[in-house]
Amino acid sequence: MIIVLLGPPGAGKGTQGERIAERLGIPKIATGDVLREAIRNGTEQGLAAKSYMDRGELVPDSVILGIMKDALSSPAAAKGAILDGVVRTVPQAEGLTKLVADLGRKVDKFLLFDVPDDELIRRISGRTVCDKCQTPYKGFEPGTTCPKCGGKLVRRPDDEPEAVKTRLRVYRAQTEPVIHWARDHDLDVAEIDATGDLDAITRRAMKAIQS
Ligand code: AP5
């Protein structure tokens, strides 16, 4: 099963993606996590992506399509994958559709996480993430030890207010058109109310996946 998570920054794609992947027994692939790891490792791909990411802009489609291809062709994704933030432009959506068709598969569902802007900003300004396992947290200060893996919690450079404004603007301009593109192509897009209790959101997402 291949499920694409869509939604603005801070909508909970990472948080819920982890839970959904665990319930379905398939991996979660997040381009943001792959790119941050490349930056930490100082690879060529990481160096090329860093300035775009720090400003809150999108990394070029060619880089993302390469990551998608590697991830989806790997044995770990043989049973499927939860794609978190992997599709942010119409060319990426077209590229993914072609890639999965070439692999003899299809995208089963687009899950669109819906959260009002003021709540997104509140969530992002209170977020820290583990520099090792990438789990996002709220209510922990940078420097705290990750309760899950023992890594160190840090604040993401693109969670600074100016970069957050850019990310929201970029989402409206470049990623929202993907929703219209998917609906125009009769693909299955389910909108999820992603506010409130984490378990309730997971239940709504699982219900949408199973329907
Ligand atoms: P990425 O890392 O994917 O960032 P994003 O899409 O902006 O999303 P976030 O990680 O900020 O939020 P999220 O929706 O995962 O929410 P989370 O679960 O953390 O991408 C970063 C950058 O990489 C991009 O800007 C771009 O430069 C580049 N990039 C990546 N993919 C790309 C692509 N395909 N094309 C081009 N460029 C690409 O939750 C947020 C906070 O809220 C957390 O603190 C969490 O604990 C809390 N929270 C979650 N749910 C709830 C709830 N129900 N109630 C209260 N708090 C909650």
Which of 15, 55, 127, 197 for a ligand 1 pocket mutation test, highest count of atoms within 8 Å of Cβ? 15
Per DSSP, what are the bridge partners of residue 191? 112
Residues 6+ away with beta carbon under 8 Å from 131: 40, 151, 152, 153, 154
Tokens 């499927």 locate to 80
pLDDT at 41: 93
Cα angle 79, 93, 18; round to 5:
45
Which of 58, 89, 201 for a ligand 1 pocket mutation test, highest count of atoms within 8 Å of Cβ? 58
Q: Which residues line ligand 1 (CB under 6 A)?
A: 7, 9-15, 30-32, 35, 52-53, 56-59, 64, 85-86, 88, 92, 123, 127, 136-138, 158, 167, 196, 198, 201
pTM: 0.94
pLDDT at 183: 97
The DSSP symbol for 191 reads E
Ligand 1 atom 56, closest CA: 123
Give me ligand 1 centre to Cα 185, in Å. Answer: 26
The pLDDT of 178-200, averaged and rounded, is 97
**H-run or E-run covering 202:** helix 198-210
Q: Which two tokens stand for residue 101?
A: 């068709």
pLDDT band at 43 (very low <50, low <70, confident <90, very high): very high
Q: Give the percent of the chain with pLDDT over 70.
A: 100
In this structure, what are the phi and psi dihedrals at residue 82, rounded to the nearest 5 degrees? Answer: -100, 120
Could you report the per-residue pLDDT of 153-187, keeping only the tens digit for each?
A: 999 999 999 999 999 999 999 999 999 999 999 99
Give me ligand 1 centre to Cα 29, in Å. Answer: 13
Give me ligand 1 centre to Cα 103, in Å. Answer: 28
pLDDT band at 75 (very low <50, low <70, confident <90, very high): very high
Could you report the per-residue pLDDT of 103-135, keeping only the tens digit for each?
A: 999 999 999 999 999 999 999 999 999 999 989
Distance CA 71, CA 17 (A): 16
Residues 6+ away with beta carbon under 8 Å from 136: 14, 15, 127, 128, 129
Q: Is 127 a catalytic residue?
A: yes
